[in-house]
Each structure stands twice: as C-alpha cells, then as structure tokens.
Amino acid sequence: MREEKTLEDLVIPGDRLGVAEEFLPGPGTYEVGYQIRAAAIGKVVKDLLNKVVSVKPYKLPVMPYSGAIVLAVVIEMREDFARTKILAVNNILLNYSFTGILHVSQVVEKAGEIKQMYSYVRIGDVVKSKVLNSFPPYLLTIKDAKLGVVLASCSKCGTQLRLSKDKLKCPECGNIETRKLGHGYGSVYIEAGDTKATFGR
C-alpha cells in the first residue's frame, strides 16, 4: 500500500498541526481544545489515508560538547600534547571522528607532578576524557581521577596491557608500563544504533 505522506515540516512543541475534526492525534502530538499540537521537535507527517497527524522526532547528530565524556584514540604524540581522534560521546559511536587535543597541563591536578606526555598516554591508547569546549579542535582533560587511559597496548609487542595493582603489565613479554589510568581500565563499552559492544576483555 502506498504511503499517503503529503507534507513534511519541521515543528517545535506547541505548534498547531490541525484541528481534531481533520486529524487524529498520532505519536509526538497532543490534543488540547480540539487542536492538535506538536509535543516534540521534528517533522510533521500527515497520513491522509488514516487521517492521523504525527511528529517524527528530529534526531540531532551526536557531537562532542563542553562537559561530554568521550572516548578518544591517541594518534600523534608531541612533547607537551597528544592529538586524538574522538570516537564516541557518552559511549555513543560518532558518525564522523573529531580531533581532540590533550595538553600535558590537562593530565594531572598538581603542576609539580607534570612529567612528559609519554609517561601518561601513548599512541594507540583509548583515553576516557572530558571535553572542555564546544567546537573543533576539541580540548580534552583527564585530570579527574575517573578519567584517563582505559585501553593500552604494550609498546614492545603490541599485546593489550593488563592492569595489575596500579601498573600495566604485558601478559606476553612481561613489559611494565605506566599511564594516567582512568576508572574501568581494560574494557570499553560503545553503542552504535541498536548494536552494543564491549571491547578489551
């Protein structure tokens, strides 16, 4: 059967969509005083066949924003910063990756403790970070105790490092490395649409 969708408009909650004599209120709408109004931001869909008006909610694309917790992979190391690709925002996979910059001053709380970037993160690490601004390139921080590296590989042989006490140890070659660790080291949970996956274990 052919769908009788004739009109698609963007509306905001409260917008008048029609009167109750013309249409029945469908999903995303409400009826008040014989008028049907939008209950969501979205597109109006008027089903002329069944005389139902509904609002299909408009889904905003997932983007990094100030205060968001993101998962970022380190792709380049410099002495005082790491360049990353932000892969997920609040555990939701992004359609496009964005650049995130983690400066060495955003790694630990006390300035006196600052060492070389290399002793906190390394290339290939997955870093749970907080975003500090709302436009690219996004500036990241991992000062909070919960934030930091959540997956890391051995610099010698590439095997995923295991956490034992507060050191990272390679189960293959025994190499021991240090990072600024985040809570939950060893697994990364990501959602993409209906797919949910945990990496690392």
User: Which C-beta is closer to Zn ion: that of 76 or that of 172?
Assistant: 172
* Helix, strand, coil percent values for the chain (each to nearest 5): 5, 45, 50
Say which DSSP state 159 is in: P
Q: Which stretch binds Zn ion (CB under 5 A): 54-62, 68-76, 140-148, 168-176?
A: 168-176
Residue 7 is a binding residue for Zn ion (CB under 5 A): no
CB of 169 to Zn ion, least distance (A): 9
Residue 176 is a binding residue for Zn ion (CB under 5 A): no
Residue 84 burial (CB < 10 Å; 0-12/13-18/19+)? buried
- Considering only residues 134 to 163 of the shown chain, the ones binding Zn ion according to CB under 5 A are 154, 156-157, 159
Instruction: Look at residue 30 and give its three-state secondary structure.
Output: strand
- What is the distance, to the nearest Å, from the Cα of residue 67 to the centroid of all Cα atoms in its chain? 11
* Residue 49 vs residues 3, 20, 25, 27: alpha-carbon distances, Å: 8, 15, 14, 16
Residue 173 is a binding residue for Zn ion (CB under 5 A): yes
User: According to CB under 5 A, which one of 62, 175, 186, 190 is a site residue for Zn ion?
Assistant: 175
**Site size toward Zn ion, by CB under 5 A:** 8
Residue 97 is a binding residue for Zn ion (CB under 5 A): no
Q: Which residues bind Zn ion (CB under 5 A)?
A: 154, 156-157, 159, 170, 172-173, 175
